[in-house]
Structure 1
Amino acid sequence: MAADSKHLALDDKMGDSTEEVVRAPSPPIPVKYTRWQKFVSTVWDPDYYLKSEAERRLVRKLDTYMLSALCFGWLMKYIDQTNLTNAYVSGMKEDLKMYGNEYTRLLTIYNAVYCVLQIPSNLVVMKVRPSWWLAGCEIGWTAFTFAQAAATSTNQVYVFRFFVAFFEAGFQPVCYFLLGSWYLKSELGKRMAIWYCFMPLGQAMSGYLQTAVFKGLNGAHGMQGWRWLYIVCGGMTIPAVILVFFLVPEFPTNAKAWYLTEEEMVIARERSARNGTKPILNDLKWSQFTAMFKHWRIYFIPLGYIFYGFSVQSYNYFGIYLKAENFSVSMRNIIPSCSWVASIPVQLLIGYLSDRLGTRFWVIVIILSFQLVPNAILTAWPPSVGLKIFAFFANPLFFATSLYYTWLNEICGASAEERGVVVGMTNTAFYAFNTWLPNLVFLQTDQPSFRKGYPTLLGSLICALATVVCIHFLYKRQQRQEAAEVGSDIERAPEQEKS
């Protein structure tokens, strides 16, 4: 019989002889769900009731402890990152006399420093407990968030912003790395989307906080409202440090989390094997690094994210436009915050659809196609104020960041080390790129129309779409090659047994 048949069975041995028998595939056993089970399987994981109770319990623990802690830490990371924009349009510009390109330089400093710890952070957590590393980073950025409240010059803000970026840099890539290590493909898109939604929630909360602080604390104890924003944000970050320290586990191969049993750790490792997610070997060598650079993944995946990441940067200039149109301080904070809130259900829908449909590529293409509309409006810069506000408002609705990193984790699933490096490389490449280009096309002296900036965003989006298509074809080729290698191994197996 053909050695590559999928349905081979051996009769019981009769003496020294055996006979191979081809059996027809058994018809699938229909799964009958109750109405509640159908509802859960529709709105949550489609394979939820196909899992054992022990596996479902493991996933519930991961959602309750790990995912919750990472979400809260991510929320505070973005509140602390975004408060620069809110402070700038709420009195910081005038108090520190930032009338030139200081704001753009502050963004540049943050982006430049942020990219430094991307790859090193993912390498560090292969040796150091992620909970220790992430909690230490949070302590660092909390301290310098407080420090910004006392700034008396732009140069001081430069220094404080440097250290905020330095300590915040490690949080994002490690979260991508951890989530991609614990969840299955049928689970990951939704969890990535849930985690990512705390970014727009943080963006929104920063605006609402600045509005509330400006109204309630502006002038209290002789301090301006924008200074109080940094104090309030720093205080809010302290609980996130505690949660991350106690609730974030290591990786499935070496986790020592207090809430996971030995049985659940075995199940976690079995899930990783079933998912095709290779474990961390803890013996990263230079030869592995050089091997990574022979594959297309380490080039095309960061390139696609460079184009995409820059193409959605118009949200950084929404508050500046509102200020130029003489909107009040409250409206400069509230209107952009509402756009971030509106993006949350869209992001959840994106993650849900990608899991339900079993495709990342087509959902990314659709989302980026929608993003063409606001970018085209800002490029044209029509006289209508309402149309421009619509374009700024719609920009965060069509982010594909969480889905892009979900796709990345799947494409690089054959090597944990490569996955960690490519995650860090992708973020590093974007932030390195983003340190210099805004200085050329988003000069503050060109505000609010930025006639070089918005056309550059539109061009980047078109390049992003083209690169995503290339990644899709390369990934399909990779899957065909991997399938062919598995087929070759199956064909060789009987010969090796005979020998």
Structure 2
Amino acid sequence: MSTIQHLSQRDDKKDQEVEMIEDKSGPDLTSLDARDTTPVVETCFEGYTLEETQAMSKKLVRSIDFRVLPILILLFLLNILDRNNIANAKVAGMATDLKFGNLDYNNAVLFLFIGYVGMQIPAGFILAKIPPTFFLTGAVCVWGVVSMCCGFIHTIPQMLALRFLVGVAEAPFFPGALLILSSFYTRKELAVRIAIMYSGNSLSNCFGGLLAAAIISGLQGKGGLAGWRWLFILEGAVTVFVGASIYFVLPSYPSKTKFFTEEQRRLAIWRTTQDANGEPDEGGEKSLIKGAKLVLKDWKIVMLIFQQMFISCSQSFSYFFPSIVKSLGYDSQKTLLLTAPPYLFAFMASVGVAISSSKMEERALHIAIPMLISTIGNALVIALPKSNVAGRYTAMFMLTLGSYCAFNLSFAWLASTIPRPRIKRAAALSLVNGLANASHFFSPYFFPESDAPKYIPGGSALAGFSFMVAVCAITIKYVLKGQNRKMDRLDSEDKPYTGSLEGVPKGYRFMT
């Protein structure tokens, strides 16, 4: 049994009286120096027993799972739906109607990410100053309106301008959502929740194809508009409605959560504080510039940025997946339907891998192994003969697997590697999300129409990036193990954490 510590303050004094109830087999803590400023890790919450604390915590997590997580999943689903619907519109006649040349579609994908990456740092500044919920819901409504406007364009420049604005509006969502999640969940809980939220990506692509097939076939010619135009209009309208609706129900931080009781708010803050070895995540430095400086001094984050960039590159097939599937020889309607099963498979695999990662408290192998499977899948798609439809379609399941399993775990790994302060974590999430997505400045050109139907250069590039993710994950694992050993040594010598370990609470150890 671990030691139970009760802290009580005496009147107006700041001195703390520490009572300890020890298991006979536990360490002797009675010699704790009163001058020791190391944060105290408590086993129990406000005098409750260990069993009561665990029961209260379980109930609280269940409440968060049902009240916060579903909202973020829905918003992320809409985020990806409005971002990727251009891929379905392309095979449904948009390219013909707008007279796209060889690289016009690739440019449209690029312009979205110019806006997306360019807005990351400004979005980070805003997230550091105002509640994430306010900013996120406003962004959702804006990108929904802009997406609707894509249904009324008639020229390629109009498409490029609107795709740029969609990227600007979508930029705050993912770092803001991760900031909210990391404020409610502990490290062990976070990976599964990010995986579940990120499942909105694969689910959106899965149902996006089915929904596109239904809208395009059902509304083709209605009101004098082509089916692909209705796709943008209807999906954008749903996004605006949902964005306006969730403002009143999505909390920003535990201390501001209305559906918690006062005791639950204190418990929620206590849980994340204890998860960071007793160092609170409230108050302190508010400048995002300060947070960015802390990030840039931490070379571990640079490695995670490269890993995330490689994952983003390996996932760039999603903007061309309908075109890749169409290389099997089916018409547009069947192609859109066939895009769904690989994404559904990726969704189920990503949740399973995240649960396994959480239970084993391991990150690197849970990223590396799926990415190696994706490496093989990409190679098979381009190596198998065009006549081998079943083999190539099976390989498409494999290529979707890795990046969707790795992406959410990589972000969870990042969040748990920056436990404190919150401003550093907010800056890191914005920087990593922005710089990782900078890979899309060149990845849209992996699949030009001139390389159809097998897209050999693009498939080869994706295989290479998938393999590099696996290499990065294993490298980071052993680097973090070295950092843990260094912290063990500094603790034994009673020395402070400096350099790349600055901001890490005493006694904290990185997941590998």
> If the TM-score is normalised by the length of the shorter chain, which range does it land in?
0.7 to 0.9
User: Would you say the 8 A contact 1:375–1:458 is kept in 2?
Assistant: yes
Q: SS of the counterpart of 2:323? A: helix
Alignment partners' CA distance in 2, 1:329 and 1:451 = 22
Which amino acid is 2:401 matched to?
L
Alignment partners' CA distance in 2, 1:285 and 1:89 = 42
2:394 is aligned with 1:393 = no
In the other structure, the counterpart of 1:73 is: 75
2:187 is aligned with 1:185 = yes
In the other structure, the counterpart of 1:328 is: 331
In the other structure, the counterpart of 1:90 is: 92
Query: How many Å apart are 1:479 and its aligned residue?
Result: 2.0
Which amino acid is 1:289 matched to?
A
In the other structure, the counterpart of 1:256 is: 256
Give the TM-score of the pair, scaled to structure 2.
0.82
Cα 1:184–1:287 shift into 2, 3 Å: closer
Alignment partners' CA distance in 1, 2:480 and 2:179 = 20
Query: How many Å apart are 1:151 and its aligned residue?
Result: 0.8
Unaligned runs of 5+ in 2: 6-21, 28-49, 497-512
Cα 1:24–1:111 shift into 2, 3 Å: same
Cα 1:164–1:291 shift into 2, 3 Å: closer
Query: How many Å apart are 1:61 and its aligned residue?
Result: 2.4
Alignment partners' CA distance in 1, 2:280 and 2:207 = 38
In the other structure, the counterpart of 2:367 is: 364
In the other structure, the counterpart of 1:271 is: 271
Alignment partners' CA distance in 2, 1:326 and 1:151 = 30
Cα 1:347–1:320 shift into 2, 3 Å: same
User: Would you say the 8 A contact 1:74–1:198 is kept in 2?
Assistant: yes
Query: How many Å apart are 1:431 and its aligned residue?
Result: 1.6
User: Would you say the 8 A contact 1:305–1:430 is kept in 2?
Assistant: yes
Which amino acid is 2:244 matched to?
I
Alignment partner of 1:348 out of 339, 342, 351: 351
Cα 1:106–1:465 shift into 2, 3 Å: same
2:483 is aligned with 1:475 = no
Query: How many Å apart are 1:208 and its aligned residue?
Result: 1.1
Alignment partners' CA distance in 1, 2:221 and 2:143 = 26
2:425 is aligned with 1:452 = no
Q: How many residues align?
A: 451
2:25 is aligned with 1:25 = yes
In the other structure, the counterpart of 1:36 is: none
User: Would you say the 8 A contact 1:119–1:420 is kept in 2?
Assistant: no
In the other structure, the counterpart of 1:317 is: 320
Alignment partners' CA distance in 2, 1:179 and 1:450 = 38
Alignment partners' CA distance in 1, 2:291 and 2:427 = 11
Query: How many Å apart are 1:410 and its aligned residue?
Result: 0.9
Cα 1:26–1:479 shift into 2, 3 Å: closer
Q: Aligned ranges for residues 65-214 of structure 1 at < 5 Å?
A: 65-214=67-216
User: Would you say the 8 A contact 1:141–1:168 is kept in 2?
Assistant: yes
Identity %: 24
- Compare 405-414 and 305-314 and name the one that shifted more: 305-314
Cα 1:168–1:289 shift into 2, 3 Å: closer
Q: SS of the counterpart of 1:382? A: coil
Q: SS of the counterpart of 2:441? A: coil
Q: Deviations over 1:423-467 (max 9, x none)?
A: 22222122212212433x432222232232221112212222221
Which amino acid is 2:269 matched to?
R
Cα 1:243–1:350 shift into 2, 3 Å: farther
Which amino acid is 1:390 matched to?
T
Query: How many Å apart are 1:210 and its aligned residue?
Result: 1.2
Alignment partners' CA distance in 1, 2:355 and 2:183 = 19
Q: Deviations over 1:29-86 (max 9, x none)?
A: xxxxxxxxxxxxxxxxxxx977444323322221122111111111111111121000
Cα 1:137–1:72 shift into 2, 3 Å: same
Q: Aligned ranges for residues 416-455 of structure 1 at < 5 Å?
A: 416-439=422-445, 441-455=446-460
In the other structure, the counterpart of 2:31 is: none
User: Would you say the 8 A contact 2:198–2:408 is kept in 1?
Assistant: yes
Which amino acid is 2:218 matched to?
G
User: Would you say the 8 A contact 2:320–2:447 is kept in 1?
Assistant: no
Cα 1:351–1:324 shift into 2, 3 Å: closer
User: Would you say the 8 A contact 2:373–2:399 is kept in 1?
Assistant: no
Q: Deviations over 1:387-441 (max 9, x none)?
A: 22222233222221111111111111133222222222222122212212433x4
Alignment partners' CA distance in 2, 1:282 and 1:246 = 28
User: Would you say the 8 A contact 1:302–1:422 is kept in 2?
Assistant: no
Query: How many Å apart are 1:379 and its aligned residue?
Result: 4.4
In the other structure, the counterpart of 1:302 is: 305
- Compare 57-66 and 279-288 and name the one that shifted more: 279-288
Alignment partners' CA distance in 2, 1:225 and 1:79 = 16
Q: Deviations over 1:214-241 (max 9, x none)?
A: 2211111111111111121022213421
Cα 1:316–1:283 shift into 2, 3 Å: closer
Q: Aligned ranges for residues 35-54 of structure 1 at < 5 Å?
A: 51-54=53-56
Cα 1:285–1:211 shift into 2, 3 Å: closer
Query: How many Å apart are 1:172 and its aligned residue?
Result: 1.1
Cα 1:49–1:381 shift into 2, 3 Å: farther
Query: How many Å apart are 1:251 and its aligned residue?
Result: 2.6
Query: How many Å apart are 1:480 and its aligned residue?
Result: 2.3
The structure whose RCO (Cα within 8 Å, separation 6+) is larger is 1
- Compare 414-423 and 93-102 and name the one that shifted more: 414-423
